Amino acid sequence: MRILFINPNTSAVFTERIGTVLSGYALPSTEVVALNPASGPRSIESVYDELLSAPGTLETILENPGFDAYVIACYSDHPTVYAAREILEQPVLGIAEASMLAACMLGHRFSVVTTNDSWGPLLRDAVQHYGLTDRCASIRTTGAPVLALETAEAETRKLILDAARKAIADDGADVICLGCAGMAGLDKQLEVELGVPVIDGVVAALKLLEGLVGYGVRTSKRCAYGRPGRKGLVNLPAVFATPYAD
Amino acid sequence: MRILFINPNTSAVFTERIGTVLSGYALPSTEVVALNPASGPRSIESVYDELLSAPGTLETILENPGFDAYVIACYSDHPTVYAAREILEQPVLGIAEASMLAACMLGHRFSVVTTNDSWGPLLRDAVQHYGLTDRCASIRTTGAPVLALETAEAETRKLILDAARKAIADDGADVICLGCAGMAGLDKQLEVELGVPVIDGVVAALKLLEGLVGYGVRTSKRCAYGRPGRKGLVNLPAVFATPYAD
Amino acid sequence: MRILFINPNTSAVFTERIGTVLSGYALPSTEVVALNPASGPRSIESVYDELLSAPGTLETILENPGFDAYVIACYSDHPTVYAAREILEQPVLGIAEASMLAACMLGHRFSVVTTNDSWGPLLRDAVQHYGLTDRCASIRTTGAPVLALETAEAETRKLILDAARKAIADDGADVICLGCAGMAGLDKQLEVELGVPVIDGVVAALKLLEGLVGYGVRTSKRCAYGRPGRKGLVNLPAVFATPYAD
Amino acid sequence: MRILFINPNTSAVFTERIGTVLSGYALPSTEVVALNPASGPRSIESVYDELLSAPGTLETILENPGFDAYVIACYSDHPTVYAAREILEQPVLGIAEASMLAACMLGHRFSVVTTNDSWGPLLRDAVQHYGLTDRCASIRTTGAPVLALETAEAETRKLILDAARKAIADDGADVICLGCAGMAGLDKQLEVELGVPVIDGVVAALKLLEGLVGYGVRTSKRCAYGRPGRKGLVNLPAVFATPYAD
Amino acid sequence: MRILFINPNTSAVFTERIGTVLSGYALPSTEVVALNPASGPRSIESVYDELLSAPGTLETILENPGFDAYVIACYSDHPTVYAAREILEQPVLGIAEASMLAACMLGHRFSVVTTNDSWGPLLRDAVQHYGLTDRCASIRTTGAPVLALETAEAETRKLILDAARKAIADDGADVICLGCAGMAGLDKQLEVELGVPVIDGVVAALKLLEGLVGYGVRTSKRCAYGRPGRKGLVNLPAVFATPYAD
Amino acid sequence: MRILFINPNTSAVFTERIGTVLSGYALPSTEVVALNPASGPRSIESVYDELLSAPGTLETILENPGFDAYVIACYSDHPTVYAAREILEQPVLGIAEASMLAACMLGHRFSVVTTNDSWGPLLRDAVQHYGLTDRCASIRTTGAPVLALETAEAETRKLILDAARKAIADDGADVICLGCAGMAGLDKQLEVELGVPVIDGVVAALKLLEGLVGYGVRTSKRCAYGRPGRKGLVNLPAVFATPYAD
């Protein structure tokens, strides 16, 4: 099977890292492709950034049909995953959603450890959108900017470790979710240091989608994710008209 | 004071109607400007449409600084209002949010009556985002497409009336919110026929913002709506870099 | 338009202050009248006090018909506002409700800072009644008695400031609501010191009601706030029988 | 032990019926006294009626100290029970609360069957105040006025039976709570006809309080129900000053 | 009346203590019998232990029909109480449920103080099952093993006292529930030291059931607790087939 | 990898069917073993049945160590899965949990279609335990006994189809979960007839666990699922003592 991972920001460092990390986990029969859009912000740290990155991300999906499954590889996955499900029949996962659902199978409550503080209210909202408020022990932020993860120096890793330790000791987390695609590859080392499962949503999305594709199930087109009705588009690339239903 | 209403879709019929309706309600000292983006879908009926409309909507805000308050005049207001609050200090309202808050002052539970069925899950999500689940009696859809409201024939009005009557009788709604900017101007006639308050979010947003501006309060920049940090933008118009904080 | 503010306690100091504060915010076309009942406790710090103040408050409403809107100017507004809506068709707001709804338009979560500790459970209950639990970061109490606000010495203001700072830093509040009518007039100074919006419910009620009256909407009489049915009254002033429906 | 039941309305028919019903259930060692206030509405069917009845109800408590426990024998028990707990150390129960807690021990979800339709939102609020929303299958109203229960003709009983049957079949109720003190005495006959437990809150309050008094536990004065602080009272009977703490 | 208390673990020390404590509270007309199963773990500190204890507990019920009411005298009461209600028509209470319902009548929010840390998630789950999440201020654990309560040395009592003090001061608890049958008998001494009601679920179950039996109400067999349908049992004692309905 | 599926009831027909169905979905590198306990009820239709089946199920786990993952293949998975997680470090899934999590990736809300009516309250409780109440559109029961699925005649299938159609049309379900292990193998045919994804929890558990094992993550032993402490066991097989921690 073939799975497309789209890194919605334009950091090629993150895109490449995603591909590298996944190569260690994909089934022999799975081909993983990792792409990022041609336009958009270098990192996503606000709803404003999300909305600027969304058209490029959706365009990347539309220009790459025919994969067996799609991943939005940014922890701010929520509105873009929703839109991708509307325009696709194949399974789609975001890495926030994937990490949280995987965590739910390994412990009773998870905490998300992420970067700058504005993610606090955004991720609380995302957890609520996914209906998982009762399973979320806390959202912990390190205060470090996303792009510090391009180099992932020891100091950045230490901030993540400290936040995770507080989540476990003070908030009652059984499992830690890494709340940024830029943290891909840090999971196993942190797991050893923390003594609890640490979930990288990038890997979780791969393994969950291999399972869904292997089961042969696809996105429901019934209600929430029905294909959008045809309508005129003004001053937008023609590719954006392709998903509309007649 | 000056208030900017942005109709995020590119239906000039709706933009003009919004201006006309508001002229009957603005204080003598209030100047209302209604605009729509230069690019985007002709109507918004899905998250996909929302995300296509968002950059044009944000660009319209950035090109029109200096208003005292801003309104996102689409019932799918939720992520765009959030982003607008991040990049502005002036008060911002969406018309969904405005209609629901106004309804909360006039009855104990409101229902939203809107157009096609895919709005059901989207608006339940929006109600939850605004924290008003306990105040919402139901979301009722007419099944009619948004653009049927450009002409607003008798049949379209009858569908709205029928849905509102069911919301009142079966769901226990005390107040009806009109769930589409295209319904602007229908409120008073429906109110007479239904016997309960009917709220047009476009008018509600105007009157609530006149109040907030009159009070002299502005958007909190503290946590949720902090200004986004500076970062590189690839292949995007330069205006999108202006709101970033240093 | 004419708006009646009723201070349910019998502290003339508070009633006068409410009138003074509002004179700085009312539209030129708005006439504000501030009254307090002829009977009742000097301050309201418990449900017991609330219930003792309620008949006098309702009597003041009944003796002053014909205003365009009514305000219950006590932060323990909940049952009295409900009753006032049952017996009136004009819009009615309490100052707790008004401050919380205004806060919801300016930040994602608000905290209420109020006086003695027994308000904690009472205001949690009120927040739940208004359906705003998810928007409330915390209720913070200063432990000071309500009537200390009649003089509002520096020490009282410092207690409020400290509690608000904790609400912002520890509880994640974006906006502060002043949880007592006796705090009217303190908002702007605190706003400067705290760096987040500070809402005085007395002003918020005025500006929201000017908007609702300007829109021409009234209290729904459909379900929750239907007019009470006629019944005998024993040993109560005759004015209390006037609102009953036949 | 001695338990005081206060019927907050001034219907002597209901007060007498409460006494009669309880005589069949009290322990030999329990003395039950049933009283109603000297002033107030003849029946309670709105928050307005509740607030008019509250001072007389509280006055009756204050004039009858020394009982081992107190009951507010009206299904609109919520604010008055709260106030009674503030001013008493003995256990206090309302009949709504008592019936719901008893129902929780006999089935997984209960429905309340009550009189006129305005009780719907009021009792949903009460259920939420008692924290029992997840245990409540529905509130069902008969539409009949409260005082029709003074005679309790066959037609009134049939309306109750029909509403209870719908609660069981359509809403999934395992237990029925009779939502009005005027329904006291109807429980056993309805239980035979419905095949599920039917709880009269008047009896439930008696039996639960006999248990609490037998256990020797009293109302917590710690936080929610702390005694109100001393303050001046204007134009109110002196008895109302007695419960204040110094 | 006759009430059977079953201690689901096989600690005869606890069984005997339960009988002793209850002898001080039972009505003269109540006969209390305390038993424990012939097989099972010596203490219950996990779901694993619970499931090992359940068949022996149910067998004890089946071998002792004809009591007027039954109590599962372990704070991990939840699935076993449910099963007991399915196979009995008499009222059944668990001591967790009984202590929480009693606490709800004496304060607005309760905390449970219990033994080892794994009870935290289990009791949060139980509180949610009983629908009382909004009434629960916290679950506080002492970290001490259950069987340390067989001797109940001063140190164990001090741990309980410290946890209860934090629950009151930091979590806002008005009432303390003792979260282990092994704490039976400690309530009154702790109440004196803490200044808030302290509820022993063993006593609470007795007094609540005396009330329910006195009222003449029984477990609803309608929906949740309907009698299980007949089916084959493989390699299980024949007594387990007796409760099946035909 | 090797995965053990335990059918907790003693219906060999179901056990064999589970093995047959899974053979069509397992990866080439996965070995699936399906077993049922030597003792227990022939079907599980109540909490009573669940508790009778639990020791045999746990014994089967303890006698079969060394698998890479374990599945409790009964839709009443909740307490047994919890206990299995306490005593294992490998990943464990129940089929209810697996089907619901898979459904969450394919639609916004799912309904469970199951057998006899007593499952309604039990599965609502399970959904709440898994924290998925907001994602569950409804629980629909067919009223047919579990063992009718051993033959799965046309009539049984029609009842399932009818219930699923109501869930989609009336309750807003996007995805259907088959609420009984005995329905294994019916998913694809129903999917064609219903036009929405239909999830068999047995297959879902296999594919999700293949993913988790492939990722190399294991059950958190930190808080909820910590290994139970050592204690004496009376009259129970010695194998039950093996999982205790020292």
Residue B36 backbone phi and psi in degrees, to 5: -130, 160
Q: Does E129 touch chain A (CB under 8 A)?
A: no
Q: For an interface test with F, give the residue of E231, E235, E236 to mutate (most F CBs within 10 A).
A: E231
Whether chain A lies against chain F with 3 or more Cβ pairs closer than 8 A is yes
Q: Does domain E2-95+203-241 have CATH number 3.60.21.10?
A: no
Q: Does C106 touch chain A (CB under 8 A)?
A: no
Label residue C143 exposed, middle or buried (CB < 10 Å: 0-12, 13-18, 19+). exposed
Chain E residue with Cα closest to D213? E207
Q: Does B171 touch chain F (CB under 8 A)?
A: no
Residue F148 backbone phi and psi in degrees, to 5: -60, -20
Quick check: A47 and B235 CB within 8 A?
no
The partner residue sitting opposite D131, judged by closest CB among E106, E134, E207, is E134
Which H or E element spans position D82?
helix D78-87
Report whether pLDDT(C87) > 90: yes
The tens place of each residue's pLDDT in chain E, 246 residues long, gives 999 999 999 889 889 999 999 999 999 999 999 999 999 999 999 999 999 999 999 999 999 999 999 999 999 988 999 999 999 999 999 999 999 999 999 999 999 999 888 889 999 999 999 999 999 999 999 988 777 777 767 888 999 999 999 999 999 999 999 999 889 899 999 999 999 999 999 999 999 999 999 999 999 999 899 999 999 999 999 999 999 987
Residue C152 has a pLDDT of: 64
Closest CA to C213 of F128, A244, A234, B27: B27
CA F69 – CA E108 distance, rounded (Å) = 44
Rounded percentage of chain A residues whose pLDDT exceeds 90 = 85
The answer to whether the beta carbons of residues A53 and A40 sit under 8 Å apart is: yes
Residue E152 has a pLDDT of: 64
Query: What average pLDDT does the segment F58-84 reach?
Result: 96
Contacts of A169 (CB under 8 A, 6+ apart): none
- Fold agreement between E2-95+203-241 and E97-201: yes
- One DSSP character per residue, B153-177 reads -HHHHHHHHHHHHHHHHHH--SEEE
Quick check: D51 and C243 CB within 8 A?
no
Residue F123 backbone phi and psi in degrees, to 5: -75, -30
Contacts of D246 (CB under 8 A, 6+ apart): D230
Report whether pLDDT(B36) > 90: yes
Whether chain B lies against chain E with 3 or more Cβ pairs closer than 8 A is no
Instruction: Tell me chain E's radius of gyration from C-alpha atoms.
Output: 17
Residue D184 has a pLDDT of: 87
Q: Does D68 touch chain E (CB under 8 A)?
A: no
Q: Beta strand C233-234 with D2-6: parallel, antiparallel or unpaired?
A: unpaired
Q: Does A120 touch chain C (CB under 8 A)?
A: yes
CA C2 – CA D27 distance, rounded (Å) = 59
Q: Which two tokens stand for residue B53?
A: 């409309």
Closest CA to D42 of D31, D32, D52: D52
* CATH code at D106-200: 3.40.50.12500
Contacts of B183 (CB under 8 A, 6+ apart): B149, B152, B160, B200
Query: What average pLDDT does the segment F184-208 reach?
Result: 96
Query: What average pLDDT does the segment C182-208 reach?
Result: 96
Residue D58 has a pLDDT of: 98
Indicate the SS3 state at residue B113.
strand
Chain F residue with Cα closest to E232? F42
Report whether pLDDT(B152) > 70: no
Chain A residue with Cα closest to B59? A52
Residue E16 has a pLDDT of: 94
Indicate the SS3 state at residue B112.
strand
The partner residues of A140 in beta bridges, in order of sequence, read: A113
CA F11 – CA F22 distance, rounded (Å) = 17
**pLDDT tens by residue, E140-171:** 999 887 777 777 678 889 999 999 999 999 99
Q: Which two tokens stand for residue E4?
A: 């059977």
The partner residue sitting opposite F226, judged by closest CB among E43, E118, E243, is E118
Cα atoms in the 13 Å half-sphere on the side-chain side of B159: 19
- The matching CATH number, chosen from 3.40.367.20, 3.40.50.12500, 2.40.30.260, 3.30.990.10, for E97-201 is 3.40.50.12500
Q: How far is A108 from chain C (nearest CA, A)?
A: 22
The answer to whether the beta carbons of residues E200 and E186 sit under 8 Å apart is: yes
Which of chain B's residues have a Cβ under 8 Å away from the Cβ of D121? 108-109, 172
Report whether pLDDT(D48) > 80: yes
Which of chain C's residues have a Cβ under 8 Å away from the Cβ of D45? 228-229, 231
Quick check: D235 and C46 CB within 8 A?
no
Contacts of B237 (CB under 8 A, 6+ apart): B59
The answer to whether the beta carbons of residues E95 and E73 sit under 8 Å apart is: yes
The partner residues of F2 in beta bridges, in order of sequence, read: F31
Tokens 């700085």 correspond to: C24
CATH top-level class for A2-96+203-241? alpha beta
Residue D142 has a pLDDT of: 92
CA F236 – CA E21 distance, rounded (Å) = 29
Q: Does D168 touch chain E (CB under 8 A)?
A: yes
Which of chain B's residues have a Cβ under 8 Å away from the Cβ of F171? none
DSSP state of F150: G
Closest CA to F138 of F157, F159, F113, F117: F113
Residue D77 has a pLDDT of: 84
Quick check: A108 and E120 CB within 8 A?
no
Report whether pLDDT(B150) > 80: no
Q: Does F133 touch chain A (CB under 8 A)?
A: yes
Indicate the SS3 state at residue A6.
strand
Rounded percentage of chain F residues whose pLDDT exceeds 90 = 85
Which of chain C's residues have a Cβ under 8 Å away from the Cβ of B167? none
Residue D152 has a pLDDT of: 64
Which of chain E's residues have a Cβ under 8 Å away from the Cβ of C128? 134
DSSP percent split of chain E into helix, strand, coil, nearest 5: 45, 15, 35
Tokens 């702007």 correspond to: C188
Residue E155 has a pLDDT of: 87
CB B169: neighbour CB atoms within 10 A?
A: 10
Which of chain C's residues have a Cβ under 8 Å away from the Cβ of E108? 121
Q: What pTM value is reported for the model?
A: 0.96
Q: Which two tokens stand for residue F110?
A: 């799912």
Residue E117 backbone phi and psi in degrees, to 5: -65, -25
Q: Does E23 touch chain D (CB under 8 A)?
A: no
Give the ranges where chain A is alpha helix by DSSP (H).
Answer: 12-23, 47-62, 78-87, 95-104, 119-129, 154-171, 187-194, 201-215
Contacts of F225 (CB under 8 A, 6+ apart): A107, A108, A174, F82, F85, F86, F219
Query: What average pLDDT does the segment D166-189 reach?
Result: 94
Chain F residue with Cα closest to B117? F172
C-alpha pair distances (Å), D212 with each of B64, D27, D132, E102, E212? 67, 13, 20, 8, 13
CA angle C16, C17, C19 (to 5 degrees): 65
Q: Does E38 touch chain F (CB under 8 A)?
A: yes
- pLDDT band at residue D143 using 50, 70 and 90 as cut-offs: confident
Which of chain D's residues have a Cβ under 8 Å away from the Cβ of F120? 172
CA angle F161, F166, F171 (to 5 degrees): 135
CB B60: neighbour CB atoms within 10 A?
A: 20
For chain A, what is the mean pLDDT? 94
**What is the architecture, at CATH level 2, of domain C97-200?**
3-Layer(aba) Sandwich (3.40)
Closest CA to C149 of C5, C52, C11: C11
Q: Does E124 touch chain F (CB under 8 A)?
A: no
Among the ranges given (A77-86, A187-196, E106-115, F113-122), the one the predictor scored with the smallest mean pLDDT: F113-122
C-alpha pair distances (Å), A50 with each of A46, A76, A142? 6, 7, 20
Quick check: A232 and B125 CB within 8 A?
no
The answer to whether the beta carbons of residues E222 and D107 sit under 8 Å apart is: yes
Quick check: B211 and C215 CB within 8 A?
no
Q: Does A143 touch chain B (CB under 8 A)?
A: no
The partner residues of D229 in beta bridges, in order of sequence, read: D245
CA F223 – CA A196 distance, rounded (Å) = 10
CA B56 – CA B40 distance, rounded (Å) = 7
Q: Does A109 touch chain E (CB under 8 A)?
A: yes
Residue E77 has a pLDDT of: 85
Query: What average pLDDT does the segment A194-198 reach?
Result: 98
Chain F residue with Cα closest to B133? F134
**pLDDT tens by residue, F102-153:** 999 999 999 999 988 888 999 999 999 999 999 999 999 998 877 777 776 7
Q: Does D109 touch chain F (CB under 8 A)?
A: yes
Report whether pLDDT(B110) > 80: yes
Query: What residue ranges do the domains of chain D occupy?
Result: 2-96+203-241, 106-200
Residue ranges of E 190-219 with Cβ closer than 8 A to chain F = none
Residue A152 has a pLDDT of: 64
Quick check: E27 and D207 CB within 8 A?
no
Cα dihedral B168, B172, B177, B183 in deg (nearest 10): -30
Query: What average pLDDT does the segment F175-186 reach?
Result: 93
The answer to whether the beta carbons of residues A92 and A44 sit under 8 Å apart is: no
Q: Does C120 touch chain E (CB under 8 A)?
A: yes
The answer to whether the beta carbons of residues B18 and B178 sit under 8 Å apart is: no
Label residue E234 exposed, middle or buried (CB < 10 Å: 0-12, 13-18, 19+). middle
The answer to whether the beta carbons of residues E9 and E43 sit under 8 Å apart is: yes
- One DSSP character per residue, C34-96 reads EE--SSEESS--SHHHHHHHHHHHHHHHHTSTT-SEEEE-SS--HHHHHHHHHH-SS-EEEHH
Quick check: B108 and D120 CB within 8 A?
no
